[in-house]
Chain A
């Protein structure tokens, strides 16, 4: 049995999620944005598992497993897009993608 309280795990989860969110929004490099997305999903998974541990529930473990599978699928699509972007721009800089401005 761990002596670490639930809130510590949650704080870790939130920290990881926030670092990822800031990375997605700020980093110009598409690959780093993609990596930051993975950080966010890992934060979510830590939160899921911490809650599950305190409830003794196998369902959340299954949910985390599914989230991992989806994350892997997301990365596959993301990298396909990165390669396609690179073909056009010779760069994966999201700001160099200046053909469009919000």
Chain B
């Protein structure tokens, strides 16, 4: 019974999907399907409450569940980010889909399945279960990205995402196979324990190859730079509510799994001696991602593509946080995720969901073309939407006192705190990049407020759920920026859980959570 309650977020989200399917089947063929968005959002709300309530880190009791899932505060925090993006994607779709001629109930069911997959992906300790979660999430997203059948760009986006996503899945699986080959286990914790008990670097190159394959696979999901090619096309071509989900939930869960996987499996400090070490690889990816995302972002003239490159750049900042792991006192050199990362993800998800969501409200009928000229004069024609968009975009740019600024400030401060001298150049690069990025964010603002509307001024969908969602996103962007203390505290707590505790022989106790050492 306790297991059932602890698993409730996972089955609640799957049940939401099934419920939506059944209601879709029972309602009249020609009736609008928008109300299913509310059903989905309600299901996600219940899921979120269950996750916060039940995911407290206690172990599952049934023998077949022991060690399969880690349901703890780390999971609950990222589950909330996933569910927020998912609910927003469902609510924005209520008015978007009919406008674009693909008002289908299946969208909401797939959204629920995708969230269910993301939750499995997030919490899985068993690597095959993790792969299954990834596939549920991804396959649903591929289909949703391609579901606007009137638009060839949407179909191409789905196809492109599918091919490259399939490549990423295969890489992930091959990495898992090498970890299995090195250790004989498919369980993150057992693999980590094996590596702690046997000196891993002397004998085996398998963990090294596996690490590169895993980082490449998850790099695809979070759109880090050598693996980012799909991002602008897919974000641009997919129906915008799906983009909301991809830019929010998929990226957040990708980072969460990347952190947990690397920190748990490669817990042995000896791994720093690998030819390609994890911090080195993440730092390289981070700097590449920041620069490439920004430079390509500057030349874009389409709002969706600008936001896509913005999302790539944010992955760069987050990877910098992933590079600067922190030590935990009392443990055998185990390190945890930098505590700036969860908070940064929160601010990023809130603002980016708002920004993409507002873009979804702006598209005119049928084929949407969100060039900058198209949004010229938005400030006069749709002052409310323009104001909300301004808040979200400025938050993404990191303008004080909005959430994005607090996220950057706290993340960079924590990265510096880990190693004040060594990390200074990287933080300077990141700050520099924030200034470069400000250019294209401000460009959106300038076009909205200081340009005359073009010949074909943009029309906006008038829908209550979308406006409410966008309003909430903008309000949160302000609120978190003004009163960040609670969220920062949560972020610090969450990052302590990022590495799963491995009880090795002789050192069974959970290490004390107070931080020292490298700080």
A and B touch in their complex, CB below 8 angstroms: yes
State how many residues of chain B have any CB contact under 8 Å with chain A: 36
Judged by a CB distance under 8 angstroms, whether A99 is at the interface is yes
A59: chain B residues at CB < 8 Å are: 186
Smallest Cβ distance from B297 to chain A, in angstroms? Answer: 13
B166: chain A residues at CB < 8 Å are: 24, 34, 37, 74, 78
Q: In the complex, what residue of chain B is closest to A37 when comparing beta carbons?
A: B166
B174: chain A residues at CB < 8 Å are: 17, 40, 43-44, 47
Assess the A30–B170 pair: CB atoms within 8 A: no
Assess the B162–A77 pair: CB atoms within 8 A: yes
Smallest Cβ distance from A34 to chain B, in angstroms? Answer: 7
A24 touching B184 in the complex, CB below 8 Å, given contacts A63-B128, A77-B139 = no
Assess the B177–A48 pair: CB atoms within 8 A: yes
Smallest Cβ distance from A67 to chain B, in angstroms? Answer: 6
Stretch in B29-37, B229-237, B483-491 with 4+ CB within 8 Å of A: B229-237
Q: Which of B143, B146, B158, B163 contacts A34 (CB 8 A)?
A: B163
Mark out the residues of chain B between 90 and 128 whose CB falls within 8 Å of any chain A CB in the assembled complex.
128
Q: In the complex, what residue of chain A is closest to B129 when comparing beta carbons?
A: A66
Q: In the complex, what residue of chain B is closest to A20 when comparing beta carbons?
A: B170
B143: chain A residues at CB < 8 Å are: 77, 80-81
Judged by a CB distance under 8 angstroms, whether B155 is at the interface is yes
Please report whether the interface of chain A is mostly helix, strand, loop or mixed according to DSSP: helix
How many angstroms from the CA of A8 to the CA of B156 in the assembled complex? 39
How many angstroms from the CA of A13 to the CA of B166 in the assembled complex? 18
* A interface footprint on B180-206 (CB within 8 Å = 1, 0 otherwise): 110010100000000000000000000
Mark out the residues of chain A between 64 and 97 whose CB falls within 8 Å of any chain B CB in the assembled complex.
66-67, 70, 73-74, 77-78, 80-82, 84-85, 87-89, 94, 97
Q: In the complex, what residue of chain B is closest to A83 when comparing beta carbons?
A: B155
A47 touching B146 in the complex, CB below 8 Å, given contacts A24-B166, A37-B166, A82-B159 = no
A88: chain B residues at CB < 8 Å are: 152, 155-156
Assess the B181–A97 pair: CB atoms within 8 A: no
Assess the B177–A84 pair: CB atoms within 8 A: no
- In the complex, which of the residues A60, A77, A78 has the most CB atoms of chain B within 10 Å of its own CB atom? A77
How many angstroms from the CA of A4 to the CA of B417 in the assembled complex? 53
Assess the B173–A44 pair: CB atoms within 8 A: yes
Instruction: List 13 A-B residue pairs with CB atoms under 8 Å apart, sorted by A's residue number.
Output: A30-B159, A40-B167, A41-B170, A41-B173, A47-B177, A55-B184, A63-B186, A74-B135, A77-B139, A77-B162, A84-B158, A94-B163, A99-B156
